[in-house]
Amino acid sequence: MAQFVKVTTVDDVPPETMKGFEVENLDIVVVNTGGQFYALSNICTHAFCYMSYGIIDGDAIICTCHGADYALEDGKSLSTMADKPLATYEIRINGNDISISIPDQS
């Protein structure tokens, strides 16, 4: 069963920015597109660069290493550069706190 774990705060990820976090041994990037928040794996499936060093492009994020891009909504790879999607995590905002759903790893 999944559990929600606090990752950061709304204030810590201003609009049109993203930031990487390590939570429960997972590398997560939290993305804020003008008040809409997303949580995805921070590790590019192409060659393991941090997505948090990348670029927000509308409803997608682009890895700066070789240009793989992924949909924010479901992590789907949008180009042939990466053939696997980024994992996505359900996100919950309570006041200023941002939590994500972590799958049960037992």
- Which residue, 18 or 68, has its beta carbon nearer to ligand FES? 68
CB of 55 to ligand FES, least distance (A): 12
CA-based nearest residue to 31, from 48, 50, 14, 6: 14
Binding positions for ligand FES, rule: CB under 6 A = 44, 46-47, 49, 63, 65-68, 81
CA-closest candidate to residue 39, choices 5, 73, 15: 73
Cα(71)–Cα(1) distance, integer angstroms? 26
Of residues 43 and 98, the one with the C-beta less far from ligand FES: 43
Q: Which residue in this structure is represented by tokens 């550069």?
A: 81
Q: How far is the CB of 82 from ligand FES (least distance, A)?
A: 6
